[in-house]
Structure 1
Amino acid sequence: MRPRIDNVDFAVDEHIWGHRLYDEQLPHLTVLEFLGVLGSNRDTPLVAEPTDKVRYRPQRQIRLRGLLFNNPYVETVRERPIPDEEKWRVWSEHFAKGATKLGDEDMDYLRQVFTKFDDFAKAIELLRSSSFEARSNKRWSSKFVFPFGPDALYEDLRVDSNGGATNDRRFFARTGELLYLMLCRATRGPELGLKLVDRLFDRQAPMNRLVKALQGEIQLAESARDVGYLPYAKHPRFDRLCDDWLAILSRDMPIYDALEHLITITGLNQLLYFLECAKTQSGDVEPVEFVCEIVSKERTKVRALSGDSYQSNQAASLRAVKAAVEGIRLTDEWADALKSDYPDSECAKLMHAVFQWPTADEEDDGGVGSTSGDELVRKLVEKAESRHGQHIGKIHAAWSKAIGLSSRRLARRTRYAPNDRLLKTLVVTIVNDRMQFDEFLHEVHARYGLVIGDAEGIRLVHEKQVDQEALSENRGSLETRLVGLGLVRRLSDSCSFVENPFSSEGVM
C-alpha cells in the first residue's frame, strides 16, 4: 500500500519522484539543505535503512544571517570618522531597529569577540563575499553563507513583520532531504557519511570559528521534523551519485574547492534521476541521452540535433504524469471495480487509495460523487498536468541551466552545450590520474548519457539523424576545448589523454 503524503491535494508526482523535487531549489540549495540534515544526524551519518524514519532538527542561526544579510549600515558606520566606542554604539542602535527579536536582541557578545569595530566589519565583508547569491533580491532570511563548517548551516526561513519565523519550503523544498535519503540508500552510503562528517564538520576550522564568533551559540528549530518521502528503496542513480561524491572527495584539493564539484555533479545526477524515473513511468526503455553541441565559432550540424534532444527530454516528465494516472485503468483492481454493482463509487474509492483523490469533501459536494471512472481519470490527468507545470515540470530547464549543461548562447532555442565548469567537474569526477580521451568520452556517455563524439552517437548516425563527420568534428571541438583548459595532453594526432590536475590522494 502506498504511504499517505501530507499537505498535497493529490499524489501523482510524489509517487514518481518523491516528495519532493522542486525547480526553485537549485543544486547549491539542495546540497545546503542536505548538509543541514547530515549535521543533525552526524553521529549516525547516512546509515538509515529504507524502512527507518529519518528526522532532523535544523539550525536557524538568526543572528548570523541577520549580521550578514540584514545589516546594511555596518559599512557606513565603519567609514565614519568617530571613535571606535561610538561606532559600536551607533551600529547597535541601527541593528536593534531591524532585529527580529528571535534571539538577536542582545548583540553585546560581539564586543567580547572583536576588539575593534573595523575587525568586526571586515569579518562581515569576508563572509558576505563568499556567500551564495549575496547580491540577489531574495529576502535576507533566504540567503546563505558558504558552508565553512557546522556553525554555517541553517534552514531557509520566512520572517514576518510580527517576528514569527517559518520554513515555507520555497528554497528548501525537501530536495536536499531526498538527497540525504538517496545517499542513505546507496551501497557505500555509510562510507560517504563518515568521510563527509570528517571533512565538513570540523568546528575548529578557521572559517567556521569566524562564523561562530559572529553567531555565538547555535540556534535550533523548536522541534525535530521528518524528512521527505522517497519512493525507491534502491536505484542505480543513488549508487552512481554516491560513488561520484566519494571520487571527488578523494581528490587532492581543499574541501571548499571540492564543494563546487559536489554541487555540480549532484545537479547532474538528480536531473538524470528525474528523467530516468519519467521514462520508466511512461514505459520508455531507452536510456536518457543529452546530445551535446560543443560550442565553436561556426554553426554546427549538431546544434539542431542538440535542441531536439533538449525538447524531447523537456516533455518526458509530463508524459510520465499522464501515464501514471491513466495507468490505473490497466490494473486488475480497476477491472474489478467496473464489474461491481456500483462501478462509479468503486472507481472513486480506488482512485482515492492510489492518488489521495477525490477527497471525501469533493464527493460530498457532488463534484465527483456520481462521476464515471473514465471521467475521474480525465479530470485527475487535467489537474495533475496543471499542477505539474507550475514547478516540477520546470525542473529539467532550471537544473540543466544551473549546472551548465544547457544554453541559448549563439542560438535561438535552448540546447545542450556544456560549459567549462561542468566539463571540469566531469574530469575531476571520472579521471583518477589520466585517461585516454576516447575512453573518457565513453565514460561520460555510459555514466551520464552525454553524446558528444561519433562513437557515442552511432545510433544517431544509423538513424540518419546526423552524419558521422559532424559528430567527429564535435568530438574534435571538445578535445580542443579541454586542451585550452589544461585538461588534455596531446601526445600525437591520434593519441590524447585527459588529465586530472587534482589526482587522487591515494587513500579514500
Structure 2
Amino acid sequence: MDNLNANTVDLKKTYGIKNIPFVEHVWGHRFRPEQTPMLLLFELMCIIENQYQAKQHEFIKNIFAPENDILYFRHRRNFKLRILLYQNEILETIHRSTAPDKEKWQRQFDFLMGDIKGDNFSFKEADIDHIKNNFKSFENFYNVIKILGSLTFDPLSNKRWSSKFIYPINREYIWCDYNNVDNSEDRRFFSRGGELVYLMLCRAPNELRLELERLFTEWLEEKDDSYSTLAKSLAISEKRYPLEETNRKNLGYLPPHEMNCFTTFAEDIVRTLNLNLEKLDKIKIMSDLVGFHTGNYIYSVGEMYTNMSNNGSPKCPTYIAEVLTKTSNSIRKASIQSISTQRNRLKRSLTNCIPNLFDQYALDIEEESDRKVFLEEQRGEAEDYLGKNILGYPHICFRHIGFVSRKNTRSFRYVVTEDFLHSLVITLLGSEKRLEFRKFMKALRERYNIFIDQSPFEDSEILQSDLNRNAKNLSVLLYQMGMLRHLSDACSYVVNPYLEDTL
C-alpha cells in the first residue's frame, strides 16, 4: 500500500472532492467514461503545448519532468477559428448565392461582427482586416474553411461548436474543450484523463522523457506546414500569456510513481513519433496506444493490490485475444471469463485499500460507532463511483481502438481487429521492415501480454487446437491487410507496409 500517501496529498483539499477520495487515491484523479481515447489524446496535446510554453518562459526545466504538477498557462482556445469552422451557419447560403464578391464578404462580416455574441467570440475589426488581407476572393475563403473542416474529429456529432476538434496535426489545432455558455473550460470531455496520461509519460525513465520532449517539440515548432498556414490565414494566432500565480491550476493526481507499463507506453509513443509517416497516421496510432495503455494501467493497478507473483512484485494483466470468428471456442469462453476476473480485481483493490485510507481521512472522528457509520456511508459512495467511472473505463478505451467486442456474443471479450492490429504492427516493427510471424506473436505476449497462440495459464482449459486455429486466423487477417508475406522456405513474415522493398 505504499502508493496510498493520503497524508502527503489531501485530494479533498487539492481538488475540492466532497467524499473521501478512495478511488482517486488508488487510480488517480480522474478518468470519466465520456473521454474516449482520441479525446484523451486531444487533452494530452493541450497539456504538452501548455508545458512547452512553461519551458519557454522558464517556469519548468523539462516538458516531461516527474515533478511537473502545475499548469502555468490556460489551454489554447482558438475561438475565432472554431467559429469560422463550426458556428458559421450562414457560410453555405452565402456561397451558393449569385451575389458579387463584395456583397458576399459584407454579409459574412456582418454576421461575424453582429450575430456572434460574447466578448470572447465576436469578431473585431482586426479579425476582419486579417481575413481581408489573406483572401483575394470569397471562393478561396470558402474552400479553405471546407478543407480544414474535413479534418474534424467525429464531424457528425451533435456536440456544441466549442467541443469540436480538428486533429492536432500542429499547434494551431490544439485547443481545449470549452463551455461557451458559462465561459469556462469544460471538464466533461477533458475530465483530467489526458492529464493522467501526461503524468504516465512523466514517470517513464529519463532517456525516454528527453526523447519525448525532443519529438513533441519538433511537432509543435514545425513551421513549413500548409495546414498551419491555412489556419493562420483565417484567424490571428492566439497569444500566450502566463496565468497569475493565484490562477494556476493543479494537474491531475496519478498515485504510482513507477510502473513498467509507463515505460512501455513511453517507448511506444517514441517509436510512433519517430516513424516516417504523415501526422494524421501518427495521430491514429497514438490514439490507439493511449487507449490501450490507459486501460492497461487501470487493470495493472488492480493487479498491484490483489495479485502478487512469487517474488512479491505485482503481476501484469493478461489479455486472451480471439481473432474474430463466427463460431464459439474455448478461447472466447476464457476471454469472457478473464474480463469478469479483472473487474472483480478492481473491486477487491478498492476494498483492500479503504481501511488504510479511511484511517488517514477520518482522524478527527473519535467515537467508534460514528466511525463505523461514516465508513459505511463513504464506502458506498466509493463503490458507486468505482462502478460509474473505473470498472467499465478499460472497455470504453478498448472498444474504441478495436480490442474488445460483443460481436456474436452477449458478453465482451478481447478480440484482434484490423484497426488495432494495424497499430500494433506499426508500433512493434518501428523502423524494422519485417518480423517473423511467430516472433511477432511472442512480442505481443512479452510486450503487451496479448495471448494469441498460447494460454497465459498452465492450468487453462483452452484447447491447443483452438489456439492453433487462432494463430492461423491471425496470419490470414494480416495477409488480407497486406501485412504478411509467405516465403518459399515456409516462413511467414509480418511486414511494415510503410517501408519500401519490404522483402
Class of the TM-score when normalised by the shorter of the 2 chains: 0.7 to 0.9
- 1:372 CA drift (Å): 4.6
Given that 1:64 and 1:211 are in contact with CA atoms closer than 8 Å, whether structure 2 keeps it comes out as: yes
The aligned counterpart of 2:158 is 137
* Percent sequence identity over aligned pairs: 26
- Counterpart pick for 1:86 among 78, 103, 110: 103
Encode CA deviations 1:187-222: one digit per residue, 9 max, x unaligned: 111111111111343244110111122221305588
| 2:481 matches 1:496 | no
Give runs of aligned pairs for residues 411-426 of structure 1, distance below 5 A.
411-426=409-424
The aligned counterpart of 1:335 is none
The aligned counterpart of 1:4 is 10
Q: Which amino acid is the alignment partner of residue 489 of structure 1?
A: R
Given that 1:325 and 1:380 are in contact with CA atoms closer than 8 Å, whether structure 2 keeps it comes out as: no
- 1:303 CA drift (Å): 2.1
- Counterpart pick for 2:387 among 386, 389, 401: 389
Given that 1:61 and 1:219 are in contact with CA atoms closer than 8 Å, whether structure 2 keeps it comes out as: no
Unaligned ranges ≥5, structure 1:
329-347, 354-359
| 2:226 matches 1:202 | no
CA distance in 2, matches of 1:103, 1:154: 15
The aligned counterpart of 2:3 is none
**Root-mean-square deviation (Å):** 2.5
The aligned counterpart of 1:254 is 278
Encode CA deviations 1:239-266: one digit per residue, 9 max, x unaligned: 1111111111222212332121111112
- 1:52 CA drift (Å): 6.0
| 2:41 matches 1:40 | no
CA distance in 1, matches of 2:396, 2:241: 30
SS of structure 1 residue aligned to 2:296? helix
**426-435 or 105-114: bigger deviation:** 105-114
- Counterpart pick for 1:215 among 235, 242, 248: 235
Q: If the length of structure 1 is used for normalisation, what is the TM-score?
A: 0.86
The aligned counterpart of 2:322 is 293
Encode CA deviations 1:398-449: one digit per residue, 9 max, x unaligned: 1111111011223222221122111011001111221111111111112212
Relative to 1, partners in 2 of residues 1:470 and 1:119: Cα closer, same or farther, differing over 3 Å?
same
- Counterpart pick for 2:140 among 96, 119, 123: 119
CA distance in 2, matches of 1:52, 1:301: 46
The aligned counterpart of 2:444 is 444
The aligned counterpart of 1:405 is 403
CA distance in 2, matches of 1:145, 1:317: 35
SS of structure 2 residue aligned to 1:435? strand
Q: Which amino acid is the alignment partner of residue 80 of structure 1?
A: S
The aligned counterpart of 1:483 is 479
Q: Which amino acid is the alignment partner of residue 449 of structure 2?
A: G
- 1:168 CA drift (Å): 2.4
The aligned counterpart of 1:152 is 173
**203-212 or 59-68: bigger deviation:** 203-212
The aligned counterpart of 1:305 is 334
Q: Which amino acid is the alignment partner of residue 218 of structure 2?
A: D
CA distance in 1, matches of 2:135, 2:186: 35
Relative to 1, partners in 2 of residues 1:458 and 1:245: Cα closer, same or farther, differing over 3 Å?
closer
Q: Which amino acid is the alignment partner of residue 2 of structure 1?
A: T
**237-246 or 316-325: bigger deviation:** 316-325
CA distance in 1, matches of 2:306, 2:376: 17
Q: Which amino acid is the alignment partner of residue 376 of structure 2?
A: R
SS of structure 1 residue aligned to 2:189? coil
The aligned counterpart of 2:311 is none
CA distance in 2, matches of 1:117, 1:100: 26
- Number of residue equivalences: 467
CA distance in 1, matches of 2:448, 2:497: 22
Q: Which amino acid is the alignment partner of residue 9 of structure 2?
A: P
Encode CA deviations 1:327-361: one digit per residue, 9 max, x unaligned: 56xxxxxxxxxxxxxxxxxxx763336xxxxxx8x
Relative to 1, partners in 2 of residues 1:310 and 1:196: Cα closer, same or farther, differing over 3 Å?
same
Q: If the length of structure 2 is used for normalisation, what is the TM-score?
A: 0.86
Unaligned ranges ≥5, structure 2:
1-6, 309-313
